[in-house]
Amino acid sequence: MPRIDLENFITGIPKAELHMHLEGSIEAELMFELARRNSVALQWDTPEALRAAYHFQDLQSFLEIFWAGCAVLRQEQDFYDLTMAYLRRARQDNVRRAELFLGLQSFTLNGVSVKTVMDGVLRAFDDAARELGVSAALMVIAQRHRSEEAAFALLDAIEPWLPRIAAIGLGGPELGNPPSKFAEFFRTCKQRGLRVVIHAGEEGSAAYVREALQLGAVRIDHGNACLDDPDLVQELATQGVPLTVCPLSNLKLRVVADLDRHPLKRLMDAGLMVTVNSDDPSYFGGYIAENLVECQRALDLSPADIITLARNSFIASFMSAHEKAAALEEIDRYVQEHARGAG
């Protein structure tokens, strides 16, 4: 397929995004608009100056800017605008399903109530389903540099919204904060029937991925480092535990030196259920289709690889079996139409 056709094919194929932090989708212009709206001072003079600061040494150096950006989000309408802006942008990449992270502690510790955040985000989900045909689900993250006690306090605070929360996650600075630090917390989440997903193996080792699996994570967010432990790869493959891989994030946070050295294809070849995602697209320079396009070029992915990744994104999602079947049929139709167009 000629390059331009392959790019269009990638952008247009129906897909799900399973690893995207709502706070990480705030474009510089929106950050400035919300700073003005809420009289919050920013340390940059213009959106261009802010964007110019997006050079990161590692995860920690990124998280400092990411958390600074959270300070502009204060009112229900801000969370609505943020969420709607992401969902509109994702729709341009033919995202039909978006399962989105939110690190609520960043807001509650700024004095914003859980209700303010949830009302804004969930109103946008409802409008996006109606207006854009995108179904969205929310995953609330406990921040791993905070205590397990703080995670339990978060669980208490979100109690009234649990029916609308698809999973509980673990995010933030990985090194020195292994999943096992939250063993009791995740045991409680599981006992209460909540799904658990855990960021592991981004900067951390394969041992962190193993811990995440042992704590009952139904998806591993990132998971790159599992390749260092062949037995672990086998377990993940046998159990069909998905990895939500984020290639441009890995490049920007220097988890990989170059995209052509990214483990995406090796993970796929090892028989793992791999998906491609954008993580924090406004900071890392690419939404989901750009992640796929850049990987296609760097790793010479075939059209069949792209179709596998699109199928995996729905299979690994928390949609119902019926919704998954419908989404997979839609991919089949898309591929057939493309084949007809090419022939």
Footprint on this chain of ligand ADE (rule: CB under 6 A): 21, 24, 59, 66, 171-172, 199, 202, 249, 279-280
CB of 290 to ligand ADE, least distance (A): 16
Residue 279 or 305: the one with the smaller Cβ distance to Zn ion is 279
Active site (annotated) includes residue 202: yes
CB of 253 to Zn ion, least distance (A): 10
In the 3-class helix/strand/coil scheme, how is the chain assigned residue by residue?
Answer: CCHHHHHHHHHHCCEEEEEEEHHHHCCHHHHHHHHHHCCCCCCCCCHHHHHHCCCCCCHHHHHHHHHHHHCCCCCHHHHHHHHHHHHHHHHHCCEEEEEEEECCHHHHCCCCCHHHHHHHHHHHHHHHHHHHCCEEEEEEEEECCCCHHHHHHHHHHCHHHHHHEEEEEEECCCCCCCHHHHHHHHHHHHHCCCCEEEEECCCCCHHHHHHHHHCCCCEEEECHHHHHCHHHHHHHHHHCCCEEECHHHHHHCCCCCCHHHCCHHHHHHCCCCEEECCECHHHHCCCHHHHHHHHHHHHCCCHHHHHHHHHHHHHCCCCCHHHHHHHHHHHHHHHHHHHHHHC
User: Which position's Cβ is nearest Zn ion?
Assistant: 279
CB of 19 to Zn ion, least distance (A): 6
Q: State the binding partner of 172 from Zn ion, ligand ADE, none, CB within 5 to 8 A by kind.
A: ligand ADE
Catalytic residue among 27, 202, 290, 294: 202
Residue 209 or 306: the one with the smaller Cβ distance to ligand ADE is 209
Q: State the binding partner of 59 from ligand ADE, Zn ion, none, CB within 5 to 8 A by kind.
A: ligand ADE
User: Which position's Cβ is nearest ligand ADE?
Assistant: 171
CB of 26 to ligand ADE, least distance (A): 12
Residue 141 or 335: the one with the smaller Cβ distance to ligand ADE is 141
Asked whether position 279 contacts Zn ion by CB under 5 A, the answer is yes
Q: Where does this chain bind Zn ion (CB under 5 A)?
A: 279
